[in-house]
Structure 1
């Protein structure tokens, strides 16, 4: 693990400059070394100021997003694909300008519950769009990572095997996978096996409980997950993600089906998550060392 981070939605809905700066400060206060922001529209935020705050606090910024249906690069309509490509290009520039090091999320389709199967042409359009975006990201010094999400949030990439096929189709070495334990416990038969399958093609990793709340309060078996990450030598960022309607806005609550709050106070949640992840990581390292000696 390179750095341990936290999603800004633990602290703020993200609609204001003051909220994002507060999220940076709270993350640093709790000892997190990176933070994840949602899509940063340059016309709404002072990116230079956020970049300076990030540097002052030594908290690295990453950005994730999902495309809206009217800008779906996996659509068949050329105008929707073109609009999606433009949004992705704008996002790469915003990440660069805020001093961020990665752009992730549902970049390959809309973030929505689809009412149809994906199409061959839609897959091809998405592959082409991501390949083009990868070139822009590489030139900007920004990692491009594709989040694999559950069937209710995209119809295109739900499993590690699908994600690996997709990035192979892009032909780009700059595209990696963004795995998330919340989504994996829905879609993967064996999340630990999926982590090992992806190996060094994982560029970013989300830790989230099955109920989106406190780690250890749900159904995820954490030891195999951390054992797999240690076994593959994962050396990139791990970020804790949790949502509550007490913090995030209604649109995200609807998109992510946050129908009940598993927490309302963010400070204890953030403190617990950091302790939990660091403990599980250290335990996995000890198990690996013990196994290596026997």
Structure 2
């Protein structure tokens, strides 16, 4: 047995009423739903009522990093805005009962640095520390996620995530791994997870093509074995996205709704030997 819980990211449920997504995730037997980090566009109290109605947890806030929310921008006003955004995500998480927030220092799809790496990592640590202190007051974790080289240039592997986490030096700031990104960047996904040990705070699962696990070529068995041997007791959340150059464009693919949601929970339960 394992204490791992399963979640599904509602990000892929494009143009659908949030209640339908929550109902679907609960109905297929997940423990939790993950929510898009757009606090000003979502009714947190309404979502919390729906979670209570369907007896579902909120696992995490999937923060969205745009050019206006860039923790390593050379513009100090943009860096300040990024920290402010993270604090709003903390408030959003508290209302929903979510446990953490994903953090990536750069804007999504930003692939060129604006200054030297040491300076940018310093800005990242400074901003994450300020937001992290606020999150700590509210019992929320910040999870530094490594993205692949085509979406960011700064934090691509878990060893880099861990180095930044150590620089921040807060108990509630840890690492986050996503198997889709890791299948591009890591030599051995299972060993990469092991390398961060008890600083692994959150996990995303998606296959090599960012579809449901089992529809690509990642071997998830050694990954599950590593997580169990590490006594990882957090969430494994499905973040599966459309096969597009820009998967965040809002395109709707029907298989990501009922089909992949149902298929993925069955895959996870078998993988982790949960009934």
TM-score, structure 2 as length reference = 0.90
Deviation at 1:134, TM superposition (A): 0.9
1:111 partner SS: coil
What is the aligned counterpart of 1:174 among 172, 175, 184?
A: 172
Q: Which residue of 1 aligns with 2:93?
A: 95
In 2, Cα distance between the equivalents of 1:254 and 1:65?
A: 20
Deviation at 1:272, TM superposition (A): 1.2
- Structure 2 residue 52 is the aligned partner of structure 1 residue 55: yes
Segment drifting more, 274-283 vs 153-162: 274-283
- Structure 2 residue 268 is the aligned partner of structure 1 residue 277: yes
Q: Which residue of 2 aligns with 1:9?
A: 11
In 2, Cα distance between the equivalents of 1:255 and 1:127?
A: 28
Contact 1:153–1:255 (8 Å) recurs in 2: no
* More helix as a share of residues: 1
What is the aligned counterpart of 1:26 among 12, 24, 27?
A: 24
In 1, Cα distance between the equivalents of 2:211 and 2:83?
A: 34
Contact 1:111–1:255 (8 Å) recurs in 2: no
What is the aligned counterpart of 2:125 among 124, 127, 130?
A: 127
Q: Which residue of 1 aligns with 2:143?
A: 145
Q: Which residue of 1 aligns with 2:76?
A: 78
Contact 1:76–1:121 (8 Å) recurs in 2: no
User: Which has the higher relative contact order, 1 or 2, with Cα contacts under 8 A spaced 6 or more apart?
Assistant: 2
In 2, Cα distance between the equivalents of 1:60 and 1:40?
A: 18
Segment drifting more, 163-172 vs 71-80: 71-80
How many residues end up aligned between the 2 structures? 270
1:239 partner SS: strand
In 1, Cα distance between the equivalents of 2:219 and 2:97?
A: 35
CA displacement, residues 128-169 of structure 1 (integer Å, 9 cap, x when unaligned) = 000111111111121211111101111111111111110000
Deviation at 1:214, TM superposition (A): 3.0
Contact 1:244–1:264 (8 Å) recurs in 2: no
Q: Which residue of 2 aligns with 1:264?
A: 255
TM-score, structure 1 as length reference = 0.85
Structure 1 gap segments, 5+ residues each: 246-252, 284-294
Contact 2:7–2:237 (8 Å) recurs in 1: yes
Deviation at 1:279, TM superposition (A): 0.8
Q: Which residue of 2 aligns with 1:289?
A: none
